[in-house]
Each structure stands twice: as C-alpha cells, then as structure tokens.
A and B are shown apart, each in its own frame.
Chain A
Amino acid sequence: MSGGRVITLQIDGRDCGAREEQTILEVARENGIYIPTLCHLNGLHPVGGCRICLVEIAGAPRPLPACVTHPVEGMQVTTDNPELRRQRRLILELMLAEGNHICAVCVVNGHCELQELALQLGVDHLEVPALYPSREVDASHPRFGLDRNRCVLCTRCVRVCGEIEGAHTWDVMGRGLQAMVISDLNQPWGEAESCTGCGKCVQVCPTGALFEKGKSAGEMVKRHLHLPLLTAMRREEEAGE
C-alpha cells in the first residue's frame, strides 16, 4: 500500500493531499467531505454500479463514480451541485421504483440505508411509475431470509461472501431487470453447500432484502462495523507473509 505517488487535488474547492492509489471517495472522507454512497462499503472491492456517488470532474464529459475513480494531480472535483443532486435523486427514484420498497412493513424500517439515503436526498415521492415486480422470496435457510423484492443489486453480499468469507455462495444471475442474487447454482439458500452460515451478507445488506429470521417490522438492525477490521486484519496477515 505504500510507494504510490503523493498528489494534491481540489475537492469542492479545498486542497487535499492524496496517494494516487486512493479513490476520490476515500480522500473526500478523510477530509470530512460527504459523498453519498450505496453499493460502496469500506473493506469490499468497489464496483461503481449504483451510481449514487457520482461527482463532477473538471474536463470529464460526464460525472464519474467517486468510489472507483482515482485522483490525478491538479484534479478539480465537485461533489455537490444542483445537477448532481438531481441526478442522484433520479437514480434513487429509479431504484425505489424497481423493487417493492414498502417501509412500513419492512424489517429494517428505521435502520435502512436506502431509506436514509432517500430522506437525505429528498426523495419523498416517485415521479416514475413503480414497477411492482413479483420476485421470489427464499426462506429456506434456518436462520436467515432473502426477500429479492427489496434487493437493489448492490452486490455487497456477493462481494463480502467471496472476498471476506471466501465462500462465494452468492452471485448474480440473469441480466437487466431479471438480474437477481442467487446462492450456489441457483439452489435454495438452505441447500447451498458452500454457505457457512456466517451471516456477513445479512449484516452488509443495505436494505431488508437479507434479514435474520424472527425479526418483525423495524426490528432488524444491521451491524457491519466489523468489516473494515476484518479487511485490515487480512491485509496485515498478507503483509506479514
């Protein structure tokens, strides 16, 4: 992690120092500048899929996701302006319209990253029609449940299972609106032999798509503060070898 060049860039007019292998998101957070995110989670490999963390970079033809874009000397980054806010809001609306996000009956009501983001970005109604999909719920696992109707395809579960737990139980099947997370080769979760039952996927899921059984509406509180620790431990182990 050392050895990279050190550069300076401007984020929202503030001069920031950065190592070139960092991302704009990391540098912004170090400097107390907030950029909303959804699919990003510290400790997991970033994918740049949700497009919530888009920032404007002077000279770039279109906004770029802060979670995967690396800083360049002299780069000028804008993290907040009316245009970006409008785009983020519209993207979030699309996401909310895609699934069945009915907070009042959801296990994570009040503890949901998607809900929080909607409040923060001022999404209080949908301008696009909701698609009301009819997706399968998987309750075959003895301790956990998966309600795909609440899934936003952030792939955090896929990544935490593959990268941290090393089980790679989860993956994505199908494309476009038919894309969905599956366990093993699309077997019921309860029959997935690779699953260790560690529950990391449940904790990192930003919505109520993955939940612990036995929790009623609003009772499911996610804990994923341990993730960066796990990542750091793994990194140290690798460095020590």
Chain B
Amino acid sequence: MTPEELQRIAAEELQARQHARHRIGVCTASGCLSCGSREVLTAIKQEAADKPEMNLRVEGVGCMGLCSRGPLVWVQTNPPPTETSTAASADASPTASAPNLPDASPDDSADITTDASSDRPTGASARAESALLYKQLTPDDAPTLIATLAAAPASPTAAAAPPATTAEQTSAQDSTQTSAQAPATGDHPLAQKICDPAMPFFKRQVKVVLDQFENIDPERLESYLAADGYLALLDCLHHRRPPEIIDEITRSGLRGRGGGGYPTGLKWSTVAKASAFVPQAGQGHAGSGRQSAGEAERPDGPRKYVICNADEGDPGAFMDRSVLESAPHRVLEGMAIAAYAVGADFGYIYVRAEYPLAVERLRKAIGQAEKQGLLGRNIGGSDFNFQVEIRLGAGAFVCGEETALLASIEGRRGQPRPRPPYPAEHGLWGCPTLINNVETFANVAAIINRGADWFASLGTDKSKGTKVFALAGKVANTGLIEVPMGISLTEIVNEMGGGTPDEAGGAIKAVQTGGPSGGCIPAAHFNLPVDYESLQAEGSIMGSGGMIIMDDTAAMVDVARFFMEFCVEESCGKCTPCRVGTKQVLLLLEKIGRGEGRPADLTQLEELCHLLQQTSLCGLGQSAANPVLSTLRFFRREYVELLAGEEEA
C-alpha cells in the first residue's frame, strides 16, 4: 500500500462516518463484552436496520476506559451535511485526545500528516463535540435510544458540557451527570444512564496509547487508518533512515512500559548495533530446539527478531489486553517501525492464551495488514520485509520474564536463564532480539507522528510521556486510564477513581502498584508523583500498570499473603531461593496471620525476604518479596499486633 492509497482509504472511511446522521459506537472490549455489550450492539444494529431512514452508523469500537459502568455506548449526531464546522468546544471533550494535549497544535504534526490533517475534523474532535456517552445500557434500552435520536433536535451540540467546576467531585458520576447534561437532556428517558464527560475520570486523561480507541473498530483496518494509522510506518519507510528513528525514540525519553523502565531508545540502538546471526536450534540444551512450522519457510541467513511481550500476568492488570483488543494495528505498526529501525525482519507477539479475544483480533489484524501490504514483503512499496507471528503463552507468569519468554518461543520449558548475555545480543535462537512490551510499542507511532519533543514535553524529567493504569479494587470508577507521568496518586485514586465506592464508604488505605513484584503505598503518601523513580523509592515499582486500591477493611498481612501465594504458585522452580523460599515466606505469613507468630518469626521473615531479593535468578524471584517488605515498611504495626495477641495468650 502506498501512502496515497492509505490516505484515500482513510478519507473514504471518514467520509462514510460523516455521511451518517448519527454514529453509535458500542464498546467491544472484554470489560464491556462481559456485561453484555455484544447483545447491546446486536439490539442497536437491529433497531438501526429496522429504521434505515434514520441513516444510523453502528460500530463496535475499542475500550473507553470506564469498565465498571459497561456496557458503554456513545452516540454522536453529525451536523447537517452543509459544512463541517468544528472548532468550538474542544475543551469540553473528554475523550478527544488532541485538544487536551499540551503541545498538540496542528503544526506539530503538520510536517507528517499534512494531507490527513485536512480531513481530520471528522475524527475525534467531531465525535466528542456532540457525543453522549451512555453507561450500563441493556439490549432493552436500544429502542429507547434510537427513539430519542429520532426525536432529537437538529443541533444537539448544546449538550457539550461545561468544564468541571471543582476537581473534588468524588463519585461524580451520579450526582453531576444530570446537571451537566440538563440543557440538552431535560426529560431524556435514559438520563440516568448518561455519563458526565466532565468527570475527572475523563478530564484528567491524556491519551497517547489509548488515543481514539472510542473511534477505532478493532476488527477493521480502515477504521485504524482513519485514526492516522500506519502513517508513521510509511513515513519511516519512505523518508527516514533507521538511525534517525532510533534517535527520535531516544530523544522522546520513552522507557519500557513493561515495568523495568529501561530506556527504549537505548535498547533499540543496542539491537541495531548487534550483528545479525544465523538462528541456531537448540541453544545450549540438546534436543531442545523445536522449530515451528513458520520457521521452516524462512531464509537461513543471519537475522534479528522483534518480540512484543504481551504476557500480561499481574493480578488486577489489564492494560495490554485492552490495547490489543481495541487497536491491535497500533501495536503491529509500532513493531514494524521497531523492526525497520533495528534491522529485523521477523517478529513474534507472545500473548497469553487467557486473552482469546486479543488473540483473535491480533490474528485478524495481521491478516488485514498483510493483505494491504503493511506487513509481509516490500511493505508500503519499500524493500523492507517484516513478518509477524503469534505465539501463545500457556499461563505461566514467569514467561513474561524475557529470557523465559524466549525459551518458551523456542519450544523449551519456560524458565529464565542468567543474564548477561542479554537478548539484545543473544536472544531468540541466539540472534539479537528486541523485546518490548505492548504499551511501549503502542507509543511508537505517536512519537514518530508528533515528534520526540512533543512526547518529551509530557510527564516528568526522568519519566516521559504517559502511562496506562488499570484501576481495580475499592474505588468507584474502576477501569483503564492514561495519565501523564508525574501525576500524584491522590489525583488518580481520589479524583479520577472517585474515591471508595458509595456503598462501602470506608477510607482508602493503600494502593498496590506493580502486581506481585510491587508494593503497597499507604494513603499518607498519596501525594507521591507517579514515575519510575518515585515509586521505587517507596519500595514499590511502576510495574506494568496495575493499581489495586484497598480500603481500611484490607488487612495488610493478608494482602502480602495473597501475593506470596501467587509467587509460590508461579515460581518456575529453577532456582532454590524462589522455589522454596517463597513457600517458607508464605508459611510464616500464614502463621502470623493465624496469630501464632512470635517476634523471631518477623526477623526470619525479613531474612528470607532479603535472601529472595539477593539470590534469586530472575526478576520474579528478586521482586517476589516486595509486597511483604513494603507492607512491613508501612504497616509493620499490623504484623506486630498479630504477634502481640499471641504473646498475651
């Protein structure tokens, strides 16, 4: 596909969208599907088919973030087809990313997207201008929804809500929605189900990775192209040399989003410098190299690999899943750019089998991209080749560790090996291999399109850009958010998350970040800026972005025990400290939890945790003690109280 063809398809798609009188988008990511959005979509489609005169365009779209209130549906009414007058109330748009971004003036992207930007008004901004977001819709609501559209006045733009007046709108959704929407909705039959676009959950977000998810039909390539998809890839292939791309990524300050926070540009340049290598079956272990069917047809020459790590396994984390389910092409585009930059021609996506929908959509996306010449041979008319295959994980947490992941792809037992040598030098079948997380790859196209300086202007000094977090636990608005690095935990938990859910009402006690490798940060430290260094200093980690919010009913010894149970279950068994040490730590936690602990047990607990940290082979074991150590650090009293009870008895 040439850039011209791409733009033609994108323009056609945008035109088709604009042509419709009303556009209706139904979330089709796992969160909403699990509460029935498939049925809602079918019901609305049925209604739309029954009333062809209304000229409705009904689409399944990507994740909109507010997963706790699914199924989410947005409805946009296009202005009469006289003139595309947009502009106006951009700042009232909760989900339109462009107007919210600090330096997102059109000039930034002009040099790359000149042609596309002229068609742009129909994109996110137009949808947000007049869109209403409905929550918790049921199939029974579909007729009502369509009926309101039929009765709607010609210009529903008045619905654009005023900006939130105060930031402290905890549990805003129910109390403020009616007032915000009052001008337009008055006696709206579904008034109770309209979300307030001004609620902090939406207002505070800055979307780069999740950009335009509400506009992208995950199953259609055209839909992604209309969101400036694959522009960056074609731009790279036709106008930039690999070192320039690596330089762009380096200057952007992007760091690995899988948790480690390793500078992405540095990783890319290392792999780019490593010399390609002839793949060797059975590295190290006899009889262990089982080559896949796809491998057989490949050339025998030296090569490099690009791998996307989508083995998201932290309890309570679902960022990668949502990205893959909502915009699989965005990840593929990032991988292709990376492959071009480092000189690789083959890629794997290692995704866990527990994400069937993500796998299905990835498969579809790869097929579409190959058909359009955006993957495969001579991409975009250049001489760059890049082929992508999916590898399914079989449910082992440790396979998210890069060396274990490599072993698993090679067909061996998923166990880590000591590093160095690092995969950048000696990776898959001995070849230099670039391994990045889903979210890291999803940032790439935006950086190329809008420039390193734009990206670097987001976030903090050392942690640039944005981060996607999955809010879970005792918080009103659970779901997916993307915020600039450096935002405080209070803002995330209390403002965007909306505090504790209404029924419970308990005070928020702590937030657990980073899954089984992270730690608990007490509410007293919630002014902490969220970036790699600050979280580490508090004994936690950024991790892949799971945030579990706990209220005062949570007993911290139990929390530590839960994560240690997870580690015992998921330890691969290769090294002694992790295999046996985690079990011994768990036994101690259980003993203390039962009230049978003695002061000496606390000492031994710390000693074992220290041993785990110091002597385990891989990151899983080394960080397995973090939940215990961080709760010991901030909630030691809870441990001691359990001991004291025993001594008195």
| Chain B interface, DSSP helix/strand/loop, else mixed | helix
**Are the C-beta atoms of B418 and A68 separated by less than 8 Å?**
yes
- A145 → chain B closest CB, angstroms: 23
A56 to B330, CA, bound (A): 44
Q: How far is the CA of A49 from the CA of B577 in the complex (A)?
A: 9
CB distance from B592 to the nearest CB of A (A): 14
In the complex, the chain A residue whose C-beta lies closest to that of B585 is A128
Q: State which residues 532-587 of B face A: CB under 8 Å.
A: 568-577, 579-584, 587
Is A218 part of the contact surface with B, judged by Cβ < 8 Å? no
* Contact indicator A91/B576 (Cβ below 8 Å): yes
Chain A residue at minimal CB-CB distance from B285:
A162
Asked, given contacts A49-B617, A51-B617, A62-B615, whether A175 binds B570 with beta carbons under 8 Å apart, the answer is yes
- Residues in A neighbouring B581, C-beta threshold 8 A: 94
Give chain B nearest CB distance to A98 CB in angstroms: 5
B617 touches A48 (CB 8 A): yes
Chain B residues with CB under 8 A of A95: 576, 580
A54 near B286 (CB under 8 angstroms)?
Answer: no
Contact check, B580 vs A177: say whether CB atoms are below 8 A apart: yes
B576 touches A168 (CB 8 A): no
Is there a chain B Cβ closer than 8 Å to A124's Cβ? no
CB distance from B284 to the nearest CB of A (A): 6
* A27 interface residue per 8 A CB criterion: no
A90 contacts B418, CB within 8 Å? Answer: no
Selected from A45, A64, A127, A177, the residue in CB contact (under 8 A) with B583 is A177
Docked-complex contact B607 and A90, CB < 8 angstroms: yes
Q: Which residues of chain A from 87 to 126 have a CB within 8 Å of any chain B CB?
A: 87, 90-91, 94-95, 97-98
Q: Would you call B575 and A51 a contact (CB within 8 A)? A: yes
Chain B positions within 8 Å of A172 at CB level: 413, 573
| Chain A 26-47 per-residue mask, 1 if CB under 8 angstroms from chain B, else 0 | 0000000000000000000101
Which chain B residue lies CB-closest to A70? B420
Instruction: Select B579's contact among A47, A64, A171, A179, beta carbons within 8 Å.
Output: A179
The residues of A that contact B288 with a CB separation of less than 8 Å are 162
- How far in angstroms is the closest Cβ of chain A from B610? 9
CB distance from B213 to the nearest CB of A (A): 35
Asked whether A197 is an interface residue with its Cβ less than 8 Å from the other chain, the reply is: no
What is the 8 Å Cβ interface bit string for chain B, positions 603-640, against chain A (1 contact, 0 not)? Answer: 01001100101111100001000000000000000000
Contact across chains for A174 and B413 when beta carbons are under 8 A apart: no
Q: Which residues on the B side are within 8 Å of A190 (C-beta)?
A: none
A172 to chain B: closest residue by CB: B413
B396 interfacial contact with A, CB 8 Å: yes
- Given contacts A45-B284, A62-B613, A87-B611, whether A175 and B571 have CB atoms under 8 Å apart is yes
Are B576's CB and A51's CB within 8 A?
A: yes
Q: In the complex, are the beta carbons of B286 and A168 less than 8 A apart?
A: yes
Of residues 151 to 208 in B, which have CB atoms within 8 Å of A's CB atoms?
A: none
Given contacts A94-B581, A94-B584, A171-B413, contact A176 B572 (CB under 8 A): yes
Name the residue of chain B whose CB is nearest to the CB of A127: B604
Interface status of A210 (Cβ within 8 A of chain B): no
By beta carbon, the residue of chain A nearest B286 is: A162
Instruction: Tell me whether A94 and B568 are in contact (CB under 8 A).
Output: no
* Residues of chain A contacted by B583 (CB below 8 angstroms): 98, 131, 176-177
In angstroms, how far is the closest chain A Cβ from the Cβ of B222? 44
Counted as pairs of residues, one from A and one from B, with CB atoms less than 8 Å apart, the total is 107
B294 on interface, CB distance cutoff 8 Å = no
Q: Give chain A residues whose Cβ lies under 8 Å from the Cβ of B52.
A: none
A153 at interface, CB cutoff 8 A = yes
Report the separation of the CA atoms of residues A71 and B567 in the bound assembly, to the nearest whole angstrom: 32
From the candidates A51, A69, A98, A163, name the one contacting B615 in the complex (CB within 8 A): A51
Contact (Cβ within 8 A) B611 A91? yes
- B287 within 8 Å of A (CB atoms): yes
| Chain A neighbourhood of B398, CB < 8 A | 175
Contact: A49 with B287, CB < 8 Å? no
A64–B575 alpha-carbon span in the complex (Å): 13
CB distance from B617 to the nearest CB of A (A): 6
A128 B584 Cβ-Cβ under 8 A = yes
CB distance from A176 to the nearest CB of B (A): 4
Q: Which residues of B are found within 8 Å of A94, using beta-carbon distances?
A: 576-577, 580-581, 584
* A17 interface hit (Cβ, 8 Å): no
- Taking each of A64, A94, A131, which has the highest tally of chain B beta carbons within 10 Å of its own beta carbon? A94
Known contacts A62-B614, A175-B571, A179-B573: A97-B584 contact under CB 8 Å = yes
Chain A residues, Cβ within 8 Å of B285: 45, 159, 162-163
Tell me which of B286, B571, B572, B582 has the highest count of chain A C-beta atoms within 10 A of its own C-beta.
B286
Q: Is the CB of A177 within 8 A of B575?
A: no
Which B residues are CB-close (under 8 A) to A63? 614-615
Inside 8 A of B573's CB, which chain A residues have their CB?
A: 153, 172, 174-179
Min Cβ gap A68→B in Å is 5
Inter-chain CA distance A131–B608, complex, in Å, is 16
A239 to B417, CA, bound (A): 28
Nearest CB in chain A: distance from B585 CB, A: 10
A87 and B413 contact, Cβ closer than 8 Å, known pairs A47-B574, A49-B576, A177-B579 = no
| Set of chain B residues within 8 Å of A98, measured between Cβ atoms | 576, 579-580, 583
Seed contacts A51-B617, A63-B615; 6 additional CB < 8 Å A-B pairs: A50-B576, A62-B622, A131-B580, A166-B286, A172-B573, A175-B396
Could you pull out 8 A-B pairs where Cβ atoms are within 8 angstroms? A87-B615, A90-B607, A128-B584, A162-B285, A163-B285, A175-B570, A177-B571, A177-B583
